């Protein structure tokens, strides 16, 4: 079963106060909220997860950016930052297209469940 848990492991509090990190099993999403506002973390995390899901769905960053109404470069940076935060490659890059890695497929299953609950 996939889930979301709260832990303390600050990494990027300067950006938002909310940190995303992978679970030991590679599929759970762990969130640290330095501001201790448990209601607000979903507002910060949900857009990042939606961006990841859009890129996964389109297998193309530019098309996902068009769907989301954001610049392609911003979405590309957001995906790279998410991969860095999680410490795992979610996508394999193939020129202008991307495909999910096995870890990315597992993470997508968790993301879809998390987004349904938001």
What CATH number has the domain spanning 4-116?
1.10.10.10
State residue 4's pLDDT score: 42
More confident residue, 75 or 114: 75
Burial class (CB in 10 A: 0-12, 13-18, 19+), 107: buried
Q: What would the DSSP string read from start to end of 11-55?
A: S-TTTTSEEEEE-TTSS-EEEEETT--TTTHHHHHHHHHHHHHHH
- Give tens-digit pLDDT for 32-85: 655 555 556 667 788 999 999 999 999 999 999 999 999 999 999 999 999 999
Neighbours of 35 (CB within 10 A): 12
Domain boundaries, the chain: 4-116
Q: Is the pLDDT of residue 94 over 90?
A: yes
Q: Residue 103 — pLDDT band, cuts 50, 70, 90?
A: very high
pLDDT at 19: 63
């Amino acid at each position: 079963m996939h889930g979301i848990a709260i832990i303390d492991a600050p990494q990027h509090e300067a950006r938002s106060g909310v940190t995303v990190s992978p679970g030991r099993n590679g599929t759970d999403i762990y969130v640290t909220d330095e501001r201790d506002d448990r209601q607000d973390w979903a507002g910060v995390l949900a857009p990042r997860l939606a961006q990841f899901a859009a890129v996964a769905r389109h297998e193309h960053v530019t098309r996902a950016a068009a769907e989301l109404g954001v610049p392609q470069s911003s979405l590309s940076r957001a995906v790279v930052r998410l991969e860095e935060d999680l410490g795992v490659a979610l996508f394999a890059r193939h020129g202008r297209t991307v495909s999910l890695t096995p870890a990315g497929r597992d993470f997508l299953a968790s993301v879809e469940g998390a987004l349904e609950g938001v």
